[in-house]
Amino acid sequence: EVLLVESGGDLIQPGGSLRLSCAASGFTLYGYSMNWVRQAPGKGLEWFSYITSSTSTIYYADSVKGRFTISRDNAKNSLFLQMNSLRVEDTAIYYCARVRGSGMSYYYMDVWGKGTTVTVSS
């Protein structure tokens, strides 16, 4: 079974740091681009970061640029998200998802994890 499992969510104070992990099973992470999507309480989905298999291309949404860093370890079949300078508005469920499509124009997410909750509050 193809699965993604996120971990690392926690209650953290504003200005703090947190590292999320996303473990893949049932498929080899190498060969797939990956991304992170988050959902604030009661709100819609927000894409915020993308990484290619080789890490040659990385994109961030303006809302996290300069504060979050996406990375991956293909040998460990894992995706990561380093979050620094956390803000109250970063409070959300964080999902990792596998990206498909032969080029950015065809971009879609076919496998999603169940998410991990990050709460930023004093």
Nearer to another protein, 49 or 78 (CB): 49
| Residue keyed to tokens 């819609």 | 44
Taking the CA atoms of 42, 97, 26 and 6 in sequence, report the sign of the dihedral they define: negative
Q: Does the footprint of another protein cover residue 44 (CB under 8 A)?
A: yes
Tell me, letter by letter, the H, E, C secondary structure of the chain.
CCEEEEECCCEECCCCCEEEEEEEECCCCCCCEEEEEEECCCCCEEEEEEECCCCCCEEECCCCCCCEEEEEEHHHCEEEEEECCCCHHHCEEEEEEEEECCCHHHCEEEEECCCEEEEECC
Nearer to another protein, 12 or 99 (CB): 99
Binds another protein (CB under 8 A): choice among 21, 52, 61, 74? 61
**Binding track over 81-120 against another protein, x by CB under 8 A:** --------------x-x--xx--xxxxxxx-xxxx-----
Nearer to another protein, 32 or 95 (CB): 95
Nearer to another protein, 16 or 67 (CB): 67
Q: Does the footprint of another protein cover residue 50 (CB under 8 A)?
A: yes
The footprint of another protein (CB under 8 A) covers 35, 37, 44-47, 50, 59, 61, 95, 97, 100-101, 104-110, 112-115
